Chain A
Amino acid sequence: MATDSIIKIKNVSFSYPESDKPAIDNISFEVERGSWTSIIGHNGSGKSTIIRLINGLLVPDEKENSLIEVDGIKLNDDTVWDIRDKVGVVFQNPDNQFVGATVADDVAFGLENRGVPHEQMVKTVAEAIKAVGMSEYANSEPANLSGGQKQRVAIAGILAIRPKIIVLDEATSMLDPEGRDKILKIVRQMKDEYNLTVISITHDIDEANMADQVLVMNDGKLITEGSTKTVFSQVELLKKLGLDVPFFEQIKAKLLNDSMKIPASVDSEKELINFLCQLNSKM
């Protein structure tokens, strides 16, 4: 990939001190600026660990040729705060990442940490809350919000600091389908509006299917990577890893099983519907 990469990871390994097996085993990949990347893999495959390595919450194992680079900055002790300015993470549990006592306080937390003056903070916070559609809840307390609303507040808190990369660390896994769709819609809008790079760690295969690029992890290793089409067409491999495939791929596989001839060029839900309709009209 010779294009403009915002995240470069080369030969990175990481082991938790109490385990003898590496949680991340010699991983290398790049993320293109402005793209949407999904990381999938079953529980304990090391997906979340990667994120914690990227923003310096965990320190990778000492290795000579390993490298983590975010937006041209190499991660080390001196640059970790600069990198955290560029990477905003929405975590899994909406309750456990809500620092402030009210919505506005929570959104302001990141700005407070960066020493933003009060007047500017008031303006930025109001804008960020509006962007996620939570204006009428600005003074609500977390106990009175739903999980989806809390996650929207978490996104607002990240938007307020204007990062370049937004990471969803299973951010929608505790939400109902409606809440999930809302969050993903907001993230998509934000991505287009501010040219953000999105990394989404997920178990939800339809969410993963929104991406441009998919990384598949298993036992700390990167099994395969590529565009959603190339990755999700490897139905057998994914099944072997215990992962789901998108609904349309499942249907396609079933139809192929029933010895229906579907041309290889059919590789989206729309095309499949078109193909089936055409097939029907010919008969």
Chain B
Amino acid sequence: MSKILIGRYVAGDSIIYRMDPRGKLLATILFILFVFLANNPVSYVIVTIFSFVAVAATKLKPKIFWDGVKPLIWLILFTSFLQLFFTVGGTVYWQWTIFALSSYGITNAVFIFIRFTVIIFISTVMTVTTKPLEIADAIEWLLKPLKIVRVPVDKIALVMSIALRFVPTLFDETLKIMNAQRSRGADFNNGGLITRAKAITPLLVPLFINSLETAIDLSTAMESRGYRGDQGRTKFRVLRWSYLDLINLAYFILLLILLLVFRTH
């Protein structure tokens, strides 16, 4: 089976898995906003504790969350590094031309580091415990108000779910084409930048044509099954709020209150 995991959903079972995706999506967005309210050590400790509780509640291996941070680790370190050496103020411990190591710099670097990591943690909690399809449903729900300004939300939702459904199919297709081209001598892994870019052509062209043919077949099948736009369509998949989602949102509102209380002005 395909190794690709869009949004990297990891199967598991804990209360977070049973929560409504809309609640989780909202909570994630809110959390990212709330984090910027923290501006002193106490509030950062609170934010850290809150996100670690959320991570622990997934009952997943810590390695998964480390995998979430890993691709961004250089960006995080680089940003923290800049904060560390280019912030002026407070007690200066060490200075050389424009580089300075000050107490402000150290706290700022630590703050930035924490901010980055908790945001990644919380969004990983979201993507890891929610199926891509559920995320699409949640996005559709969030977009619903846009119907007033005539944004075709239902069509966008259908497009999203079809796109998600075809990601693994296209991925398998890509592997098949790659293997077929390899079996007649294509080399995808060697050579300089230009050679490699050229090697992709025998992969991309058939892939495009296949996708277009699939689209035509799919639209024929959809039409013959009675699809005629949004009019009069009902939905098979429905999301239901439960008490867990109240807990979820209450949890983040508690975080908001605590951050407002401990925020220094």
Contacts and interface: CB of A to CB of B under 8 A. Distances in A.
Contact of B227 (A89, A91, A98, A113): A113
A110 interface: yes
A113 B236 contact: no
A105 B237 contact: yes
Contacts of A91: 217, 220-221
B224 A113 contact: no
A99 B219 CA distance: 9
A97 B227 contact: no
Nearest to A91: B221
A55 interface: yes
A104 B238 CA distance: 13
Contacts of A241: none
Contacts of A109: 222, 225, 227, 236
Contact of A55 (B2, B161, B224): B224
A112 B214 contact: no
Which label, helix, strand, loop or mixed, suits the secondary structure of the A interface? helix
A114 interface: yes
B192 interface: no
Contact size range, B: 20 to 34
B168 A114 contact: no
A111 B214 contact: no
A112 B234 contact: yes
Contact of B168 (A84, A97, A121, A143): A143
A153 B213 CA distance: 21
Q: Could you say which of B165, B168, B213 has the most chain A C-beta atoms within 10 Å of its C-beta?
A: B165
A121 B236 contact: yes
B198 interface: no
A115 interface: yes
A85 B164 CA distance: 28
B232 interface: yes
Given A99-B218, A105-B236, A143-B1, A114 B226 contact: yes
Interface string B84-103: 00000000000000000000
B234 A97 contact: no
Interface in B200-230: 213-214, 217-218, 220-228
Contacts of A105: 161, 236-237
B235 A118 contact: yes
A1 B258 CA distance: 83
A99 B236 contact: no
Contacts of B224: 55, 57, 84, 87-89
Interface string A60-93: 0000000000000000000001001101110101
A176 B153 CA distance: 41
Contact of A99 (B222, B233, B235): B222
Contacts of B220: 52, 57, 91
A38 B197 CA distance: 49
B225 A157 contact: yes
A86 B221 CA distance: 15
A113 B237 contact: no
Nearest to B158: A99
A143 B222 contact: no
B221 A99 contact: yes
Q: Could you say which of B213, B221, B227 has the most chain A C-beta atoms within 10 Å of its C-beta?
A: B221
A177 interface: no
A126 to B, nearest CB: 11
Q: Could you say which of B1, B172, B217 has the most chain A C-beta atoms within 10 Å of its C-beta?
A: B217
A101 interface: yes
Contact of A96 (B1, B2, B214, B226): B214
A52 B218 CA distance: 14
A168 interface: no
B232 A143 contact: no
A102 B165 CA distance: 8
Contact of A108 (B217, B223, B236): B236
B5 to A, nearest CB: 11
Given A99-B218, A108-B236, A113 B225 contact: yes
Contacts of A204: none
A141 B168 contact: yes
B227 A81 contact: no
16 contacts: A55-B224, A84-B223, A84-B224, A88-B224, A91-B221, A97-B217, A100-B165, A101-B133, A105-B237, A109-B236, A110-B225, A112-B233, A113-B227, A122-B236, A142-B168, A161-B226
What 8 A-B pairs have minimum CB-CB distances, sorted nearest first?
A108-B236, A96-B217, A97-B221, A143-B168, A113-B226, A115-B232, A101-B165, A110-B225
Interface of B: 1-2, 133, 161-162, 164-165, 168-169, 172, 213-214, 217-218, 220-228, 232-238
Given A101-B161, A118-B238, 13 more contacts: A84-B226, A91-B221, A95-B169, A96-B214, A96-B217, A99-B221, A101-B133, A101-B164, A104-B236, A109-B236, A113-B233, A118-B236, A143-B2
